[in-house]
Amino acid sequence: MGISIRAAAAFLFVAGLTWFSASIDERSRPPLESPDSAANNGQVASPPPAFPQQGGRGQRGGRYGRSGTPVIDRTQYPQWQNDPNFQRDVFTFARLQYDGSGNTPDARWNNDFPDADLNLSFRLQQLTSLHVNPDGAVVRLDDPKLFEYPFLFMIGVTGLNLSEMEARTLREYLLSGGFLMVDDFWTPAEWRHIRDEMKKVFPESEAKELPPEHPIFHLIYDLKGVPRVPSIRAWQQGHTFEYWHGDTEGDEAPHFMAYFDGQGRMVALLCHNNDICDGWEREGENHEYFKLFSEKWSYPLGINIIVYALTH
């Protein structure tokens, strides 16, 4: 099962060499551009005179079919075609679905879905040489297709309660070459919760905080400082912290906590005191928010994390 993950990652890395071979200075910040002017062929395009970000679509949370499978109206989003001979050799942004929810409205697996997933997928297709699945995927830990995806995204984790089977499967997935990104959890109490859940997965390991000089902050986009992205709701209230999550206990700083396997490979990155994916989801709702957070932090960091996961 791990072979398919590593093979997909290797293919994507080779496919992207034409763009990633540029110098660090040349690729420190490839320009974002509107979907109307993008070539939609996976290559970096010339920037337009000004950037009109994508319009909001407002399908947050998604709709569901009779089987509980999310249903997405793709006509609301940028679309592109990949070579039909290589449908299985594209990157797919896979979101992890789990049971349970927390005490805040955003503490659920489908928060910011599907806009965040599809917007980031489009930006990866637009700004890199990766060939990207335009539809993304939703997968559970008991889904046989889990091991087809080298990258998993999880959100709203204060309601997460992994069963013994789920913890064992997630461990196998991560140790077989997979990577997990966790986003949008705040306060020390919420960190302690997800830390305890991860203890079920890696009882022998502790998370390590990444320093600002870690390559994940500089791999493609050279980020200056440690990223902090609040939700658009918090920002409109004049805050860069989501205080509705509870007591800050005097710690409002962003933390990027990583888990590593026995060979030193990063297998999971937990973005504490951050809402990175709101910058993906909400890019079309407010131009100032887009410039301050989507363009400056959310998309550059998201691309850095995915490329790091696929190439390490």
Segment 136-185, tens digit of pLDDT = 999 999 999 999 999 999 998 888 999 999 999 999 999 999 999 999 99
Q: Is residue 131 part of a domain?
A: yes
pLDDT digits 0-9 by tens, 97-122: 998 766 776 777 888 899 999 999 99
pLDDT digits 0-9 by tens, 75-96: 778 889 998 888 778 999 999 9
Average pLDDT over residues 35-64: 39
| Res 292 pLDDT > 70 | yes
Structural domain that includes position 260: 2-33+93-311
**d(C-alpha 126, C-alpha 123), whole Å:** 5
Q: Is residue 56 part of a domain?
A: no
Q: What is the DSSP string of 123-164?
A: HHHHHSS--B-TT-EEE-TT-GGGGG-SEEEEE-GGG----H
**d(C-alpha 253, C-alpha 174), whole Å:** 27
Q: Which of 103, 112, 132 lies closest to 42, judged by CA? A: 132
Reported pTM? 0.82
Q: Is residue 84 part of a domain?
A: no
SS3 at position 218: coil
Query: What was the pLDDT predicted at 52?
Result: 39
| Res 65 pLDDT > 90 | no
pLDDT, greater one: 73 or 233:
233
Q: Is the separation of the CB atoms in 215 and 24 below 8 Å? A: no
SS3 at position 302: helix
Q: Is residue 296 part of a domain?
A: yes
At residue 219, φ and ψ (nearest 5 deg) are -60, -50
Count of structural domains, the chain: 1
Q: Is residue 237 part of a domain?
A: yes
Q: Is residue 83 part of a domain?
A: no
Q: Is residue 132 part of a domain?
A: yes
Q: Which of 244, 253, 249 lies closest to 271, judged by CA? A: 253
Hey, what's the torsion of the CAs at 300, 291, 269, 14, to 10 degrees?
-20
Q: Which of 23-32, 188-197, 202-211 has the lowest mean pLDDT?
A: 23-32
Query: What was the pLDDT predicted at 67?
Result: 43
Q: Is residue 76 part of a domain?
A: no
CATH of the domain at 246: 3.40.50.12140
Query: What was the pLDDT predicted at 112?
Result: 85
| Res 57 pLDDT > 70 | no
Query: What was the pLDDT predicted at 240?
Result: 97
CA angle 90, 92, 93 (to 5 degrees): 155
CA angle 110, 237, 239 (to 5 degrees): 85
